[in-house]
Amino acid sequence: MGDLLALAQQWQQQGRTEALLLLYQNWVMGAPSPYRHVACFNWGSLLGDLRRHAEAEKVYRLALSLHPRFAQARLNLGHQLEHLGRSAEALAEWREVYEAESFEAVGADPLDLRLHALNNAARLLETERRYAESQALMRRSLELKADQGDVQQHYVHIRQKQCDWPVYQPVGEVTLNQLLVNTSLLATLSATDDPAVQLMAAQRFVHEKVVKYKGPAFHLEASGKQRREGKIKIGYLSGDLRMHAVGLLTAELFELHDHSRFEIHALCWSVDDGTPLQARIRKAMDKRLPLAGVDDITAARMIAETGIDVLVDLQGLTSGARPNILAYRPAPIQAGYLGLPATSAVPGLDWIIADRFTMPPEYLPYCTEKPLYVPNCYQVSDRKREVGPVPTRAQYGLPEDAFVYATFNNNHKFNEETFSAWMRTLHAVPGSVLWLLADNEWAQANMLRVAAEHDVAAERLIFAPRVAPPEYLARFTLADLVLDTFPYNAGTTASDCLWMGTPMLTRSGRSYISRMCGSLLSSVGLPDLVTFSLEEYEQRAIQIGRNPARAASYKRFLAEHGHSSKLFDIPGLVRDLEAEFEKLALAERHRQPA
């Protein structure tokens, strides 16, 4: 066996993949050996790495037929089944490991294998929105081993998604401090408006996950081959140029660019969703560089060779982001926009597009990027968004004569403090109702529990289902006042709400993301709907609810002036962005050697 393993290792180092596959096949199918199950495992691992998942499944099943208690083979079988889209079977294989009293751990710590099974099952359950089951497995994992930062991170965020307050609930030997330190940046944005804490969360992620590249910037290597001239090339880096909040906001931006002066590139790994929105975005681009399946360093070199002058990252550290591309500096000017309204701490990201409301002077010390200011609101949007037929209140189970407060942001974007303020508002405005989104049954149950604690009857919370964008837009018209979330303000949702002529009340805090809606309201001409404390927010919500005529006057104002306001002057915003990009790009070109 030793000679065969040595030969296998040698061939693997030499990249002789097909020969290695044949070696394992002959070993397994040849003369009986007490180590055939180990050879099967190695063979299956190689097939899995090659994404030949169906073949790998058969090999792992053979290994288990030879040695049923072989935990590593069962774990990897689960991964192949997941890749093949057979989630229930994958979960069953992992359950066999974490529920087993004992199993065979070949050269591994049994605890590590049990944690592997628990954590992967929890991850898959979370993606399938089976939050309660997922959280239960995370708790079991942390009770077995407290020091697991990634598990702690998911544990905090899954509690946010379920409105399972208080979110920071210690488990096993995990301390409150550990939960705070290991909270992801996304979860931190929903937990606090403290910019120092947000910066710490971003820096921790970058320290742990982003490449530490110290070599020459890729754009310098590429520019040495060819001088930059002609149209300024703007590249938009994203995996969300599709039916996604970022895609919905940016379609008209791409169309309105001055294509006679700028060459617009999509640097994209978005899935093909077949939607008219994605087709519209692609049509607006001068060129598209597909990066799906391309590793980060190769993608960065491809972008550099394209000669991009200004690289606009639309994702930051959100799901599916590829910050390593930025770390190699494939463009001389790299700026963050829209996807992450917060500092990312990503090396190579030097600018963040903002306005002076979202990024006041006192916020700047907590950002690794410099602000690239536009004169009015930073947020682009789409004036061509499709709106469905105007519905009636009866269609959604809303009372005809009640004051309807609404909030359609994701449940993780607010905390118990904000929700309690909403409940006190309902209590103070007789007959009013709150029309809100419930992402899942656990969030709904937890919100009803807190409502009961505030003596608010369950029927005064009316839960809205998720619907297609045209219907979602049309139903804004049924609300009297939309209540913004805090500390994670509405962005796309606020734009949609104001476009549809419905007023929104916000609370602005200390961070970019907690000031987004305030920027939009100021630019649309309703600064008196911007508050700066919980008490002011709550008092203003009650005042407007007790005086429906005030809400109606806001609606009249938006109907008459909203679409013509600075907020929806999208051509003006595009010209402002182009002016900033051109200034930076020309200065950079001027520095190039002749």
* Ordered domains of the chain (ranges, CATH): 2-168 (1.25.40.10), 218-373 (3.40.50.11380), 393-562 (3.40.50.2000)
Query: What mean pLDDT comes out for the span 380-399?
Result: 96
The pLDDT of residue 49 is above 50: yes
Which DSSP string do the residues of 187-217 spell out, in sequence order? Answer: HHHHH---HHHHHHHHHHHHHHHS----S--
State the Cα–Cα distance between residues 159 and 163, nearest whole angstrom: 6
- Per mean pLDDT, which range of 25-39, 40-54, 472-486 is the poorest? 25-39
pLDDT band at 22 (very low <50, low <70, confident <90, very high): low
Query: What mean pLDDT comes out for the span 489-502?
Result: 97
Which of 323, 303, 312, 311 shows the shortest CA–CA distance to 223?
303
- The tens digit of pLDDT for each residue in 561-572 reads 999 999 999 999
Determine the angle formed by the axes of helices 71-83 and 36-49, rounding to 10 degrees: 30
The pLDDT of residue 177 is above 90: yes
Query: What is the pLDDT of the chain when averaged over all its residues?
Result: 93
- The tens digit of pLDDT for each residue in 11-20 reads 455 455 565 5
pLDDT of residue 67: 86
Assigned token pair, 102: 């004992």
H runs (alpha helix) in 50-144: 53-66, 71-83, 87-98, 110-127, 131-144
Which of 160, 74, 171 shows the shortest CA–CA distance to 114?
74
The pLDDT of residue 438 is above 90: no
The pLDDT of residue 594 is above 70: no
- The tens digit of pLDDT for each residue in 222-277 reads 866 666 788 999 999 999 999 999 999 999 999 999 999 999 999 999 999 999 99
pLDDT band at 111 (very low <50, low <70, confident <90, very high): very high
pLDDT of residue 41: 80
State the Cα–Cα distance between residues 411 and 432, nearest whole angstrom: 21
pLDDT of residue 345: 96
- Per mean pLDDT, which range of 55-59, 343-347, 424-428 is the poorest? 55-59
State the Cα–Cα distance between residues 160 and 515, nearest whole angstrom: 21
pLDDT band at 8 (very low <50, low <70, confident <90, very high): low
The pLDDT of residue 292 is above 70: yes
pTM value? 0.91
State the Cα–Cα distance between residues 474 and 349, nearest whole angstrom: 38
